[in-house]
């Protein structure tokens, strides 16, 4: 099954929420864990126990594992492997972007099915030009994986690039249009998505890309049900709201973490 098909099935089974796995130092402290490789190992094990087979998507933030060096990367590898094939899809948040053979190597590292960190999908940056992402799309297609492209992020610095214009088209608009072209004709939706922040306020861009829309910033970061309904009117069925602190603050108790994730999905589906 393509990533788009698997994503649609997972959303139907569990709800649309994506739970971030972000083991930053303050969260480890909140969980009573040391800011060390041992603390990271325990954190990751708890997250797997809480969310594997319980939610549609998890989104490990690679940087918070990489900061511990090779040991942290090894824990990330195991975390991905333990989560996959449980009904929960792994969106690895790496935001890679490069050109030519280097982009292809990144794609192989995260999307080739036999790679140690093989994930269901990854995030990428298009700001070396949308065409620089083609190696990611090619490897994803061969491995039935997904790619989420940064388009309209909610950080204040993003505006200067994403809203820049070439003629009548913004950079973000061009990215979204090219994603729509890649996803054209795919059913139930394409495998190539956009990252659009829940807290961007408003947009006039066309978000109907026939692909998944990964929406960080929901919950503790300020994004609301009303924001999602307003921003994504007409395409809300493709929205994957991502939340980290809103769920992870319930840890380290496994049952409370699971309940928090279920509650997020209840709110989203009820909306």
Closest CA to 4 of 249, 264, 244, 238: 238
- Measured CA to CA, the distance from residue 10 to residue 246 in angstroms comes to 21
- Measured CA to CA, the distance from residue 264 to residue 17 in angstroms comes to 7
β-strand pairing of 146-152 with 192-196: parallel
Instruction: Look at the block and give the residue holding tokens 């493709």.
Output: 238
Exposure class string for 200-235: b at 16+ Cβ within 10 A, else e = beebebebebbbbbbbbbbbebebeeebbeebbeeb
The residues near 131 (Cβ < 8 Å, ≥ 6 apart) are none
Catalytic status, residue 256? no
β-strand pairing of 169-170 with 192-196: unpaired
- Measured CA to CA, the distance from residue 256 to residue 253 in angstroms comes to 5
Instruction: Look at the block and give the residue holding tokens 């947009």.
Output: 203
Distances (CA, A) of 263 to 111, 144, 157, 237, 266: 31, 30, 32, 18, 5
Catalytic residues: 95
């Amino acid at each position: 099954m393509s990533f788009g098909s698997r994503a649609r099935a997972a959303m139907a089974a569990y709800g649309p929420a994506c739970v971030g796995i972000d083991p930053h130092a303050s969260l480890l402290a909140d969980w009573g864990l040391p800011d060390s490789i041992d603390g990271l190992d325990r954190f990751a094990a708890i997250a797997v126990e809480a969310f594997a087979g319980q939610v549609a998507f998890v989104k490990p933030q690679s940087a918070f594992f990489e900061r511990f060096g090779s040991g942290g990367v090894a824990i990330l590898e195991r975390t991905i492997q333990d989560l996959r094939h449980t009904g929960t899809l792994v969106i690895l948040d790496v935001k890679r972007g490069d050109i030519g053979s280097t982009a292809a190597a990144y794609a192989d590292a995260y999307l080739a099915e036999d790679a140690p960190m093989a994930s269901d999908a990854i995030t990428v940056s298009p700001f070396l030009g949308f065409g620089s992402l083609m190696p990611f799309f090619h490897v994803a297609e061969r491995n039935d994986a997904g790619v989420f492209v940064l388009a309209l992020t909610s950080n204040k610095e993003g505006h200067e690039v994403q809203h820049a214009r070439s003629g009548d088209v913004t950079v973000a608009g061009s990215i979204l249009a090219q994603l729509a072209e890649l996803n054209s004709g795919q059913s139930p939706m394409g495998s190539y998505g956009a990252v659009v922040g829940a807290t961007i306020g408003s947009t006039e861009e066309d978000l109907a890309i026939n692909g998944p829309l990964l929406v960080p910033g929901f919950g503790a970061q300020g994004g609301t049900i009303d924001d999602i309904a307003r921003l994504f009117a007409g395409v809300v069925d493709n929205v994957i709201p991502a939340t980290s602190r809103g769920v992870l603050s319930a840890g380290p108790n496994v049952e409370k973490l699971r309940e928090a994730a279920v509650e997020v999905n209840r709110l989203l589906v009820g909306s």
